[in-house]
């Protein structure tokens, strides 16, 4: 009897069969797969499932508890909403990438060991980049490659930490890990890369705005939220995360004030909101961890709604700069209204879901006697209302009317946004639908208190007054906002110039030396051997043959099977050496970098496998 079916299987199977279906069946699969993935979540018994023993380590593909289930439920729900939102697409490629992406996220939250976690972690990275490339913008290709580069680097750091941890402890299970030491530090760094933590956070606002309009909802959902899940699971109470989270919250918020690109602005808000979650994980109390998880779930809904709202604007107008938009509330009223529900939710307006989860995080900071953390998170809540709920929709939907001849988007996009809006409101007025399934459901938190209402209205009123005072200053301007990606972009440009300059000259020098010092002498040696063969050996063999056997049979055989074999072996070895050197000297910096990485990887593995034996041998020699 089957006791558990991994929900990721539905997404992977759906991705595999989509290319072979006609349009009608494809639409049914697109909507059916996310709904079917919910069924095993209802019937799954808590515990471990899908355990495999590989090389003495247990690979656990199904650790079922409140933490994994609550993330899996929201992934299935947003998967359905995202498929409804993109229902009008004629091509299947984006849905295939989205299903693989969702399957990787599902696999990651149910992974009970570090190796299976890493497997699904990398599936997420390599599938999500296609959604960026499918954006079709002039900068989509470059942004996708930079995204892949950063996430590959983060994955290498994570894998390095996993290997060190397993070597040191002999245990590959995924649980609470100390951030001190190489193992914990490398894994924490790898998780923070995906969470949008500094200093490599710039991949997020660099890549997400270049993704497809319908695919951005997937990007805003899985990568950063799975990273939050891993932090809650692996590093609860790590104090360093408080400071990292506060930086993310304030830095992301500050960049939204400067940004002109509407999806880039919302991408910085992802960093800011994930900062709330990271801070809560650092606080580490049961209420804080509940708040981190609740805010991650709510963020998937309201951030998805905000991305869908601005995606609808881009889809209908073809424009993504706030300076190019204005007055759209008259022609896209439904989109504007639904976007504002997302804005109220992210800002923590009472009776919307953000009011609940933000209150949990701020209350946990107060209960932990961290007044500065409490104050900064409260100020950030005011700034979120100012930038996301006032500044952006004012400039896009009100502002100076650009008289764009557009309407609200297709019905499926409206339905997708409406579903997200319903969940935002429902979890705001009936929070127990979420809080009963959090990691610590017995922890009491009362959101609807008079003090909470008063404080929240003060926060919102302050932001509104600031907006009204500086409304002209907050109008969009043509700007280029610089971030930390400037450094590695410039470093990459310098490296390529260096590669095409000094390294290229050095390569040409090596090729000349190779031709002069190896190829030319080898050719001369072969010619000399040929002359020696015909002038000396042939004569000797012929004379011996005539003297001993009285014929040429021995001469011919010796020449054919000995002399020519020797010459052919020399020539073949030279050919192989020349071919190998030619393949290595491609002039491609990527190949040289890959050889260096492979070499380092081999040396590290040799050290891990043979380090103790080598040390013992050296001691014995002494």
| pLDDT, average across residues 40-50 | 90
229 and 248 share one domain: no
pTM of the complete model beyond 0.85: no
Question: Same domain, yes or no, for 549 and 474?
Answer: no
- Given 180, 200, 235, the domain boundary residue is 235
- Total domains in the fold of the chain: 3
pLDDT at residue 592 is higher than 70? no
User: Which pLDDT value is given to residue 400?
Assistant: 84
Question: Of 183, 204, 235, which residue sits at a domain end?
Answer: 235
In a domain, 443, yes or no: yes
Residues 248 and 360: their CA atoms lie apart, in Å, by: 19
* Shared domain check, 399 and 343: yes
Which residues form the domain of 72?
1-235
- Mean pLDDT value across residues 227-240: 96
**pLDDT for residue 605:** 60
Choose the final residue of a domain: 468, 483, 498.
483
Q: Are residues 6 and 143 in the same domain?
A: yes
pLDDT at residue number 163: 94
Predicted pLDDT of residue 602: 65
Asked if residue 85 belongs to a domain, the reply is yes
Shared-domain flag, residues 231 and 241: no
pLDDT value of residue 279? 97
Q: How far is CA 557 from CA 19, 526, 530, 542, in A?
A: 62, 21, 17, 11
What pLDDT was estimated at residue 517? 80
- Mean of the pLDDT values across residues 475-493? 72
Mean pLDDT, range 585-593, rounded to an integer: 55
Check residues 384 and 601 and name the one with the higher pLDDT. Answer: 384
Where are the extended beta strands (E) located within 154-202? none
**pLDDT tens-digit series, residues 242-284:** 999 999 999 999 898 888 899 999 999 999 999 999 999 999 9
Compute the average pLDDT of residues 135-141.
Answer: 88
- Predicted confidence band at 477 (pLDDT cuts at 50, 70, 90)? confident
472 and 507 inside one domain: no
Identify whether residues 255 and 371 lie together within a single domain. Answer: yes
pLDDT above 70 as % of the chain:
87
pLDDT at 353: 94
Higher pLDDT, 195 or 138: 195
Tell whether the model's pLDDT for residue 52 goes beyond 90.
no
Q: Model confidence at 41, in pLDDT bands (50, 70, 90)?
A: very high
Classify residue 245: in a domain, yes or no: yes
Task: Locate 69 and state its tokens.
Answer: 């289930």
pLDDT of residue 240: 95
Judge whether 432 lies within some domain: yes
- 330/388 same-domain check: yes
Give me the mean pLDDT over the 1-24 stretch.
89
pLDDT computed for residue 85 by the predictor: 96
Q: 303, 323, 336: which is closest to 406 by C-alpha?
A: 336
Which spans in 318-430 are helix H? 333-347, 353-367, 371-384, 392-397, 411-429
CB 30 within 8 A of CB 13: no
Query: Cβ of 22: how many Cβ atoms within 10 Å?
Result: 7
Residue 478 sits in the same domain as residue 495: no
Q: Quote the CA–CA distance of 297 and 555 in Å, as a whole number.
A: 87
Count Cβ atoms below 10 Å from residue 302 Cβ, excluding itself. Answer: 28
Return the residue matching tokens 């959101």: 447
Mean pLDDT of 337-346: 96
pLDDT at 591 over 80: no
- Predicted confidence at residue 528, as pLDDT, reads 82
Domain identity same for 104 and 186: yes
Secondary structure element (H or E) that encloses residue 248, with its range: helix 240-258
Average pLDDT over residues 556-570: 70
Considering the domain boundaries, does residue 314 fall inside one?
yes
Report pLDDT digits (tens) over 525-552.
888 877 777 777 777 767 766 665 544 5
Which pLDDT score is estimated for 8? 95
In a domain, 110, yes or no: yes
Strands 47-54 and 57-64 come out as antiparallel
Q: How confident is residue 235, by pLDDT bands cut at 50, 70 and 90? A: very high
Interaxial angle between packed helices 93-110 and 222-234, expressed in degrees from 0 to 180 and rounded to the nearest 10: 10
62 against 508, higher pLDDT: 62
Q: Tell me the C-alpha to C-alpha distance, in Å, between residue 268 and each of 137, 206, 262, 492.
A: 20, 10, 10, 24
Residue-by-residue DSSP string for 597-609: HHHHHHHHHHHHH
Classify residue 286 by burial, with Cβ atoms within 10 Å: 0-12, 13-18, 19+: middle
Query: Above 90 in pLDDT, residue 367?
Result: yes
The arithmetic mean of pLDDT across residues 210-231, rounded, is 94
Q: Identify whether 144 is part of a domain.
A: yes
Phi, psi angles (nearest 5°) of residue 60 = -110, 110
In 3-state terms, what secondary structure has residue 373?
helix
* Rounded (10°) angle between helices 66-85 and 93-110: 170
Spatial distance between the Cα atoms of 240 and 562, rounded to a whole number of angstroms: 73
d(CA 227, CA 201): 13
Q: How far apart are CA 308 and CA 301, in angstroms?
A: 10
**621 has pLDDT over 70:** no
SS3 content of the chain, % helix, strand, coil (to 5): 75, 5, 20
pLDDT reported for residue 511:
82
Higher pLDDT, 256 or 68: 68
Does residue 259 share a domain with residue 195? no
pLDDT category of residue 518 using cuts at 50, 70 and 90: confident
CA distances from 433 to 426, 430, 443, 511 (A): 9, 6, 15, 69
Q: What percent of the chain has pLDDT over 90?
A: 64
Lowest mean pLDDT among 2-16, 77-91, 175-189, 566-580: 566-580
Contacts for 379 with CB less than 8 Å, ≥ 6 apart: none
| 20: in domain | yes
Distance separating alpha carbons of residues 105 and 296, to the nearest angstrom = 14
Cβ distance 98 to 82 under 8 Å?
yes
Question: How far apart are alpha carbons 436 and 70 in whole angstroms?
Answer: 10
Indicate if 286 and 138 belong to the same structural domain. Answer: no
Q: Which of 140-144, 487-491, 611-615 has the highest mean pLDDT?
A: 140-144
Mean pLDDT taken over the chain:
87
Q: Is the pLDDT assigned to residue 597 strictly greater than 60? A: no
**What is residue 47's three-state secondary structure?**
strand
């Amino acid at each position: 009897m089957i006791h558990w079916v991994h929900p990721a299987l539905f997404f992977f199977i759906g991705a595999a069969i989509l290319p072979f279906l006609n349009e009608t069946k494809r639409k049914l699969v697109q909507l059916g797969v996310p709904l079917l993935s919910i069924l095993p979540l209802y019937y799954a018994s808590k515990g471990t499932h899908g355990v495999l023993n590989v090389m003495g380590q247990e690979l656990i593909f199904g650790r079922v508890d409140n933490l994994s289930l609550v993330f899996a439920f929201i992934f299935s729900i947003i998967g359905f909403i995202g498929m409804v939102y993109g229902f009008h697409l004629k091509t299947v490629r984006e849905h295939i990438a989205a299903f693989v992406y969702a399957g990787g996220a599902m696999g990651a939250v149910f992974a009970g060991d570090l190796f299976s976690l890493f497997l699904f972690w990398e599936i997420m990275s390599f599938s999500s980049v296609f959604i960026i490339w499918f954006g079709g913008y002039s900068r989509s290709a470059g942004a996708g490659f930079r995204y892949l580069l950063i996430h590959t680097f983060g994955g290498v750091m994570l894998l390095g930490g996993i290997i060190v941890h397993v070597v040191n402890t002999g245990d590959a299970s995924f649980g609470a890990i100390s951030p001190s030491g190489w193992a914990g530090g490398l894994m924490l760094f790898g998780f923070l890369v995906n969470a949008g933590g500094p200093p490599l956070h710039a991949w997020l606002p660099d890549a997400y705005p270049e993704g497809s309009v319908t695919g951005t909802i997937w990007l805003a959902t899985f990568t950063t939220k799975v990273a939050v899940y891993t932090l809650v699971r692996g590093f609860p109470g790590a104090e360093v995360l408080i400071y990292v989270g506060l930086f993310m919250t304030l830095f992301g918020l500050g960049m939204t004030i400067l940004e002109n690109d509407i999806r880039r602005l919302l991408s910085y808000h992802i960093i800011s909101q994930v900062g709330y979650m990271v801070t809560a994980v650092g606080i580490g109390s049961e209420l804080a961890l509940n708040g981190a998880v609740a805010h991650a779930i709510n963020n998937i809904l309201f951030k998805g709604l905000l991305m869908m709202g601005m995606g609808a604007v881009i889809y209908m107008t073809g424009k993504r700069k706030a300076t190019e938009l204005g007055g759209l509330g008259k022609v896209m009223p439904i989109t504007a209204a639904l976007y504002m529900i997302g804005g109220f939710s992210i800002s923590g307006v009472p009776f919307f879901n953000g009011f609940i989860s933000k209150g949990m995080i701020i209350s946990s900071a107060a209960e932990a006697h961290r007044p500065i953390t409490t104050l900064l998170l409260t100020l950030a809540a005011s700034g979120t209302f100012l930038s996301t709920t006032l500044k952006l929709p004012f400039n896009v939907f009100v502002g100076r009317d650009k008289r764009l001849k557009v309407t609200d988007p297709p019905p499926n996009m409206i339905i997708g946004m409406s579903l997200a809006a319903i969940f935002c409101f429902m979890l705001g007025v009936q929070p127990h639908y979420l809080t009963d399934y959090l990691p610590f459901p017995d922890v009491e938190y009362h959101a609807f208190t008079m003090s909470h209402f008063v404080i929240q209205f003060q926060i919102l009123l302050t932001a509104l007054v600031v907006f009204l005072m500086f409304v002209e200053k907050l109008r969009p301007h043509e700007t280029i906002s610089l971030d930390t990606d400037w450094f590695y972009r410039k470093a990459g440009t310098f490296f390529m110039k260096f590669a095409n300059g000094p390294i290229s000259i050095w390569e040409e020098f090596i090729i000349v030396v190779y031709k002069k010092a190896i190829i030319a002498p080898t050719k001369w040696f072969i010619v000399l051997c040929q002359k020696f063969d015909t002038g000396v050996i042939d004569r000797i063999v012929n004379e011996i043959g005539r003297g001993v056997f009285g014929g040429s049979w021995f001469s011919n055989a010796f020449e054919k099977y000995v002399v020519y074999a020797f010459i052919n072996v020399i020539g073949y070895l030279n050919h192989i050496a020349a071919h190998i050197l030619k393949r290595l000297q491609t002039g491609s910096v990527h190949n040289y970098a890959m050889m260096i990485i492979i070499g380092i990887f081999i040396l590290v593995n040799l050290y891990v496998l043979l380090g103790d034996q080598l040390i013992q041998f050296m001691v014995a020699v002494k």
